[in-house]
Homo-oligomer: A and B are copies of this chain.
């Protein structure tokens, strides 16, 4: 049993993380939730009990076995190294350390083997090396679902070029953005307007083609993450990836429209097979029955909704006429679960499973 810290426990991802830890029976003996300024002292529910949020302060990680970080890049930059030095395994969902060459960026179904190296450092390295090795990171939400679909296709057909346009829900911008969508939409439907506080423009009944800040090359930080993190996870450092990240007025689940060129000949049938055989991926692709991945559905709908589910759902799989050998397809995944909280817990589970005997 383990003492588990959660930084950002009251946030959109943090809340789901507590739920995932509980439902997957992660061996938690004590929960230590951390929160920022105004949420310190708030209680979160876990395993039938209330746990009070503590502030981040010197020594706050002492005695913890695990610390999950679901907060800002700045918070992770400041506090992740302290948690690792205090002896905890850290699973960081921020972008702070993801691209550091000696920090693993993990989607356990795809590259969980990298944890063996971390264990070796933890067992055999200096105190400093061991602390560094205990820092594990999970990718950006829009990256996770993309690479989950790309990896099996790459093994079978060889990736050459990836073009992706995203349809990202506001929960990717945090709980306050969800509230902004809800209140602003309620107002908009009545002909009123409340100015945006969280997102850069009105999101009610609108799409915003910007997620993150702009880089000099005209891409946003989100689009850069999709490219750079996919390359790192797939171990294809020069893979050609072009991403356009768009915020859409949905609450939960990200959609992705993907076009891929392959090195070798592809068939839809074989693509469905290799996707279906990838643990964590579910193929939902019966267009004649209007069945394809959706974020949410109504009662009685024949489609399983992505929201609240674990898999990365893939459908609309078809030969892409832009290429001699290529596919177009559509991906839906719950950005708070496989895109963040679930993937983080899976990383921790993989560390436990891979512990050297």
Contact = CB atoms under 8 A, between A and B. Distances in A.
A218 B292 contact: no
A217 B165 contact: no
A205 B318 contact: no
Interface stretch (A45-53, A60-68, A142-150, A208-216): A208-216
Contact of A206 (B181, B214, B244, B296): B296
Given A163-B259, A195-B300, A214-B288, A206 B250 contact: yes
Contacts of A209: 255, 257, 292-294, 315-316, 330
Contact of A316 (B196, B244, B320, B328): B244
Interface centre among A185, A298, A301 (most CB of B within 10 A): A298
A2 interface: no
Contacts of A185: 185, 189
Contacts of A162: 322
A257 B241 contact: no
Contacts of A298: 193-196, 201-202
A246 interface: yes
A7 B65 CA distance: 71
A242 B321 contact: yes
Nearest to A181: B205
Interface in A239-275: 240-242, 244, 246, 248-251, 255, 257, 259, 268
B303 A201 contact: yes
A162 to B, nearest CB: 7
A8 interface: no
Nearest to A161: B322
A206 B294 contact: yes
B165 A257 contact: yes
Contacts of A219: 318
B242 A322 contact: yes
A287 interface: yes
Contact of A244 (B182, B217, B330): B330
A72 interface: no
A338 to B, nearest CB: 18
B217 A318 contact: yes
A209 B242 CA distance: 20
A294 B208 contact: yes
A319 interface: yes
A84 B319 CA distance: 40
Interface centre among A200, A217, A259, A295 (most CB of B within 10 A): A259
A207 interface: yes
Sorted nearest first, the 9 A-B pairs with minimum C-beta distance are: A218-B318, A165-B165, A242-B322, A165-B257, A244-B257, A214-B287, A202-B298, A209-B330, A240-B322
Interface of A: 161-163, 165, 167, 181-182, 185-186, 189, 193-196, 200-202, 205-210, 214, 217-219, 227, 240-242, 244, 246, 248-251, 255, 257, 259, 268, 287-288, 290, 292-301, 303, 315-323, 326, 328, 330
